[in-house]
Amino acid sequence: MKLERVEVVHVAIPLVSPFRTSFGTMTTKDTFLLHVVTDTAEGWSEFAADPQPRYCSEFVAGAELVLRDFLVPRVATLPTLTAALVGPAVSGIKGHELAKAALETAVLDAELRSYGMPLAVYLGAVRERVPAGVSVGIKDSVPELLDDVERYLAEGYVRIKLKIEPGWDVEPVRAVRERFGAALPLQVDANTAYTLADAEHLRRLDEFGLLLIEEPLDENNLYGHARLQSRIATPVCLDESLHNARDTAAAIAMDACRVVNIKPARVGGYLEARRIHDVARAHGVPVWCGGMLETGIGRAPNLALAALPGFTLPGDTSASARYFAEDITEPFVLVDGHLPVPRTPGIGVEPLPDVLRRFTRARRDLYGG
């Protein structure tokens, strides 16, 4: 396979409602799609981060520059292009995992389309559908939170994740437990909002039988998370702290986490995500697939990954309607609390041309064209 063209398509899609975390509030999914054209097929991917470097150090404008000036030129010189060669080709560029993931995924999509192979088959999926959880942002009041949780449960979601931060943690969790019962699979996500000095306060969450508390301390603080895990019963789940399979193995060995959230974009792509899955599964540690408010272009490959055998907890692979009144692909629709795993070649979806046109802010060629 030979690289012929790489294009970025900037899109801005309104969210159906504001989504608030400890990092801030989002009202629009503002990012870019990466479109790769080869001599045998075309591929698509989605850059997962935001216009501002708040969730992570990467951001939309920076990622485009890194792709244009550093990553794509290294891939363009390969005599034969495959997704497996993208990682080694760009390894000399430190960091920028989300930009690397966008490039690797678009190349992988094109490669698999040329073979006629679905991503789910390539990764080793064992399910045709995956259970869907939903992430509920921080609200202005507990009654508003309860109304949202009730609506999502009525829609069929099988697990609820609550975003928390200091001042919005124990009481919202208590209210949800009292309203919906102990049988509801419930977890919380702190997005690095606490410190180890908050351990006694976080221990108050133990009484609610949570599946996990996700990334409570600052990222890359494996020692701090191990100390915290020794002081609370709720399983600690790591997200932002895990950048690759090596980090995951170290975190498990230190008992810094007992659950792993795998976000393919954050770890450099689906090939590394599969390696993290394999490490965690070998140690008996459950994994689940996190979300970053993806459009259908990002959601489809996440569903393929979440169909691997080690994904034993429902992920954040919510239906399209959770975030968008209109998605840029055919929408993913919840059926009996599950979403179907795409089974057509590549990632299994493409942008709808008319919809993509309406949400596009700019197009630029990074290579060829």
* Residues noted as catalytic: 163, 263
CA–CA gap between residue 228 and residue 241 (Å, rounded): 15
CA–CA gap between residue 365 and residue 81 (Å, rounded): 19
Is 34:103 a contact under the CB 8 Å cutoff?
Answer: yes
**Class of residue 208 by CB neighbours under 10 A (exposed 0-12, middle 13-18, buried 19+):** middle
CA–CA gap between residue 124 and residue 127 (Å, rounded): 9
Residues in contact with 179: Cβ distance below 8 Å, sequence separation at least 6, in sequence order: 146, 149, 150
Q: Are strands 236-238 and 186-189 parallel, antiparallel or unpaired?
A: unpaired
Is 232:203 a contact under the CB 8 Å cutoff?
Answer: yes
Residues in contact with 277: Cβ distance below 8 Å, sequence separation at least 6, in sequence order: 262, 287, 305, 308, 310, 311
**Angle value at C-alpha 246, between 243 and 249, nearest 5 degrees:** 110
Phi, psi of 331, rounded to the nearest 5 degrees: -70, 150
Is 45:297 a contact under the CB 8 Å cutoff?
Answer: yes
**Which residues lie across from 32 on neighbouring strands?**
10
